[in-house]
A = this chain, B = another copy of it.
């Protein structure tokens, strides 16, 4: 028994040349598609997250209200539910899983939305972090289909600093000999724990730690308890090759890296017709507000709306801080009613 559906996409030729045969896109929907088929919202997943990790933003009375909207949560390729290193049969299994771009993901999601549901217009695409990356891609790849986008705590292109942060994360995981170039029998636990500890410094802001919100708000008994249980505990549940596959997707994210825009980032931003709320967190250490400001300045109908939060990247998700969720939900309501 699963709580999600599979879109059998057949053989999908990827941007970088490989073909994902019998490609599967796992997704979950909330609410019902109306007769006009004009009430669908696409809400992609984030790095290492699955559809269940997106549910905190969905609910009656919320902006993403399943009584009103048909909300589709597509799982990113590589996340363990859609086609991934951990579930692909040989020969594209494990570390041989091909390079998948955010563009590949969104084109596959577009097929789901159009082929399975016959949807022609989307009132909103939204997402956190790598979900925001996919949201930007929806805006740039399907400008006539997407009416609104709300990418939060993410970017339209992986910045050089973000790339370097991810190099550190990757290096920590792959320093573990048990990783064995991806051909592990048992999980490389030491590497996963190291990766988690590296991530811990980036995932929340300096001020979050200064104010001891790990203890005072999240209820951990000490900083070390937070590092072991919240951070290591989360990463130990993930497959190392899946994490590395999605990391590659992230590092190579760029809305202009396709035949439409040929690397012209400003052109790709300028092509986004959707009304956009671009929402960084002011204290996000890897998606700093300056990158969002640049994006907004080059988009025709975008507003820059930062989270005034000390939760850093985690201001945007996954629903960790109630005040940030309230702010986000309010802004999504405002955007949807515009």
Contact = CB atoms under 8 A, between A and B. Distances in A.
Interface residues of A, number: 42
A165 B165 CA distance: 12
Given A159-B210, A212-B160, A168 B201 contact: yes
Nearest to A294: B210
Interface in A124-183: 159-161, 163-165, 167-178
Interface stretch (A26-34, A38-46, A192-200): A192-200
A110 interface: no
A205 B167 CA distance: 15
A255 interface: no
Interface string A202-237: 100111111010000000000100010000000000
B164 A209 contact: yes
B167 A197 contact: yes
Contacts of A200: 164, 167-168
A209 B172 contact: no
Interface of A: 159-161, 163-165, 167-178, 190-191, 193-194, 197-202, 205-210, 212, 223, 227, 285-286, 288, 290-291
